[in-house]
Amino acid sequence: MSNILVINCGSSSFKYALILQDYDYRIYGLAENLGTPNARISGVTFGNEKFQIDLGQADHKEALAVAMSRIGQVNFDAIGHRVVHGGNITSARLIDDDVIQHIKDMSPLAPLHNPAHIVGIEATAQLYPDLPQVAVFDTAFHQSMPEKAYRYALPQALYHEHGIRRYGFHGTSHAYVSERASTLAGAKNQGGWLVAHLGNGCSTCAVWNGQSLDTSMGFTPLEGLVMGTRSGDVDPSLHYFLAKNLGWDIEKIDRTLNRDSGLLGLSGLSNDMRTLIDAAEQGNENAALAIEVFVYRLAKSLAAMSCALPELTGLIFTGGIGENSAYIREKVVATLSHFGFSIDAEKNNLRGQAMRIDAGTNPQVWVVPTDEEARIAQETRQVALAETTTIAY
Ligand code: ADP
């Protein structure tokens, strides 16, 4: 089996991980502030040793060369790139000129992400011209949604001529945790699962027999749940009101909804759930309200997602909040108790591993740490090397 380098490239940063078949640890790192005087890279290299290096004003390619020099003697056989927007592409693809053009064509739908992915793909292609590269799209898992779930009630031409529809994101994570929970529950990719991916970005998903049938994010990642700094759903007429009555231009409206809203906007304090839980415990009413809105909107979304499923096998929590906050899980499950969900307080307080946390009732409740890199490596092996490995659960 092969070692795979996984790259997740942002506009001024990238994360990388070398997924090794013969070791139970990874070589990984994060390069930040690229193209500024404060460029730096930190991570873990062979033998689990930590490192941090200032990079001057390095760009993506220079930083990538430093990252690769830190990998040491380990070879890899293919490179998998996380790509946020793949439009209507349904699975991971070997990168060629057509795929690069397609990622560029989708850039208006993901202006912060897709151009950065191209930078990463070109940098690794220059460094490793002989290795196959694969694009693994966040949107691909949701291409199985039926039309009733992905169409907006808008004039047809906006869909047919401009691709305006719901795409969904976080697909790699929803795919990974639903496969893992169903496997641990005894029937891989069988049954109906609700997934709550709760990180800085948050989304829910309805998965039936291993396929996404609906998800809360839409045309962009702004739709749906309350997130760290994103508002999630608002009345679409809000844009008109803010422009007409407050004189805001479209950039300011977009920035406000994406960067100044969500937990941060509601609390006026922080986008970080840990900070808000601590503050609420100290009596901060705005933090308490932000948590309440977050939980209520999440529970409402999960209830709505259940409409996509012929049967409800279980609910899965993942992402930084979903994996680590017993408090949030307990509140969400309590709001959904009419579905028959229960929680075992002792199991709910354990951390760090995939486990079932309900009190032995149905539908089940699970916590599953996500591992998008493992999933990207698995899909890269399949596409580039025709290796049909499965992740060991
Ligand atoms: P990203 O989407 O950037 O990958 P993460 O999945 O790491 O983010 O999630 C970040 C969120 O997880 C933050 O809101 C952070 O406060 C929250 N989080 C991490 N640990 C805890 C915890 N113990 N309790 C509550 N929230 C937590």
Q: State the pLDDT at residue 291.
A: 98
pLDDT at 392: 59
Give the closest residue to 112 by CA, choosing from 24, 220, 26: 220
Q: Is the backbone of residue 386 left (phi > 0), alpha (psi -120 to 50) or beta?
A: left
Residues in the chain: 393
For residue 104 the two structure tokens come to 């560029």
Q: Would you say 163 and 350 are in contact if contact means Cβ atoms under 8 Å apart?
A: no
Annotated active-site residue in 24, 138, 278, 358:
138
Q: Kindly report the number of other CB atoms within 10 A of residue 137's CB atom.
A: 30
Determine the pLDDT at residue 390. 65
Query: What integer pLDDT is reported at residue 270 of this predicted model?
Result: 97
Q: Which stretches within 40-185 are classed as H helix? A: 60-69, 97-105, 114-127, 147-150, 156-162, 171-184
Position 77 confidence tier, pLDDT thresholds 50, 70, 90: very high
Measured from the Cα of 200, ligand 1's closest atom is 2
Q: Omega of the bond prior to 129 within 30 degrees of 0, cis?
A: no
- pLDDT mean across residues, the chain: 95
What is the residue type of 340? G
Average pLDDT of span 295-318: 98
**Interior angle at CA 188, CA 360 and CA 174, nearest 5:** 90
Residue of the CA atom closest to atom 8 of ligand 1: 199
Percent of the chain with pLDDT over 90: 88
Place of tokens 């039926």: 146
pLDDT tier at 369, thresholds 50, 70, 90? very high
Instruction: Output the ligand 1 site: residues, CB below 6 A.
Output: 199-201, 228, 272-274, 277, 319-321, 324-325
Distance 175 CA to ligand 1 centre (A): 20
Annotated active-site residue 138? The verdict is: yes
Return the exposure string of 213-225: e unless at least 16 CB atoms fall within 10 Å of the residue's CB, then b.
bbbbbbebbbbbb
The owner of tokens 């906050």 is: 325
Distance 201 CA to ligand 1 centre (A): 10
* DSSP letter assigned to residue 12: S
Site to substitute for ligand 1 among 269, 321, 327, most atoms within 8 A of C-beta: 321
Reading the block at residue 208, the tokens are 């039936």
How does DSSP classify residue 176? H
pLDDT in tens, 2-57: 899 999 998 899 999 999 877 777 899 999 999 999 999 999 988 788 999 999 99
d(CA 373, CA 162): 32
CA of 112 to the centre of ligand 1 (A): 22
The mean pLDDT value for 355-370 works out to 97
The answer to whether residue 279 scores a pLDDT higher than 80 is yes
Output the CA 319–ligand 1 centroid distance in Å.
Answer: 7
Rounded to the nearest 10 degrees, what angle do helices 97-105 and 114-127 cross at?
160
pLDDT at 171: 97
Residue-wise pLDDT for 174-232, tens only, equals: 999 999 999 999 999 999 999 999 999 999 999 999 999 999 999 999 999 999 999 99
The answer, yes or no, to whether residue 256 has pLDDT greater than 90, is yes
Give the CA count within 13 Å in the CB-facing half-sphere of 332.
31
